Amino acid sequence: MDKVVVVGSLNMDTNLSVPHIPVVGETIIAKGMSLFKGGKGANQAVAIARLGGDVEMIGAVGDDDNGRKIISGMKKEKVGTAGLIVKENTPTGIAIISVAENGDNNIIVHSGANYQLGKEDIDKNLDLIKAASYCVLQLEIPLEVVRYTIDLCYKNNVQVILNPAPAVAEIDAEILSKVEYLLPNESELNIIAGKEVSEEKMIESCREIIAKGCQNVIVTLGDKGSLWVTENGYRYFEAMKVNAVDTTAAGDSFIGAFTYMLAQGKDVIEAIEFATRAAAITVTRKGAQDSLPVLAEVL
């Protein structure tokens, strides 16, 4: 089994159960509130660990109760915590998540300690990166730290799996040329492409990204499945039909399960099919990390 290192965010999530996602200017009453451990980086690391993967986490939390709870939770999940940094006089990142009755959600994030993660923190944990075969990153930490980490991975022959979320338009060719797998969702693909991408033009937009040097683009399409595009071909994968109650962490579950399978030596097709099943389980449960499946469930 190959080692994986995840470099990214750790948050405490506040989930609000709402009848529908509010529109601009609308006030609605939440039907319930729950606290969950989250953050895209932490979610993806836990997703890998729950499946039995060998994973280390590099990231930052604040010197507060939320930070202590998150570190304790990561240890219980058997995620390596040697790369977790506690930032003094800084709050742990938080996310406010509205979850509608049909499972749709929207998310507001206050980055807190996540945006205090610096290049020096990456340097201190370079051994964790060098020991890994795959490095998973997102964009809930400073972009310059993401770029710096990708450069280190490239120099040390560590394959990069980049989840460009939340999406930014300035993912340039220098970054993309060092990314083995880019995994956006539809809205993130639109932002990266700089235009609204129709279903008919999606493959074309993915090919434009690949022309900048990225080897594989895998677009997660929610209940429509996913699309894998390379320079030479493409393939659609159907989603599993389930009763979705909360789509929070569905993408994180997919990415974690996909990475887990690559670390097991499986090919991309097997990895996507497995990740599709893991994500299908995740959306049938509430919460972020609480919704992530174990290996026996996916099998």
Task: Measure the CA–CA gap between 166 and 4, rounded to whole angstroms.
Answer: 22
Q: What is the DSSP letter of 22?
A: P
Task: Measure the CA–CA gap between 264 and 271, rounded to whole angstroms.
Answer: 9
SS3 at position 20:
coil
Strands of the chain, DSSP E: 3-7, 11-17, 32-38, 54-62, 80-87, 93-99, 105-110, 134-137, 159-162, 181-182, 216-220, 226-229, 234-237
Specify the residue for token string 């539809």: 186
Q: Is 104 a catalytic residue?
A: no
Specify the residue for token string 């429509």: 224
Q: How far is CA 201 from the centre of its chain?
A: 25
Cα distance between the two ends of the chain: 18
**How many residues are present in the chain?**
299
Task: Measure the CA–CA gap between 298 and 279, rounded to whole angstroms.
Answer: 9
- CA neighbor of 62 nearest in space, from 39, 35, 96: 39
Task: Measure the CA–CA gap between 113 and 145, rounded to whole angstroms.
Answer: 14
Query: How many CA atoms does the CB half-sphere of 114 hold within 13 Å?
Result: 29
Active-site position among 64, 252, 267, 290: 252
Give the tokens for residue 199.
Answer: 């279903």
Task: Measure the CA–CA gap between 267 and 5, rounded to whole angstroms.
Answer: 19
- The residues annotated with a catalytic role in the active site are 252
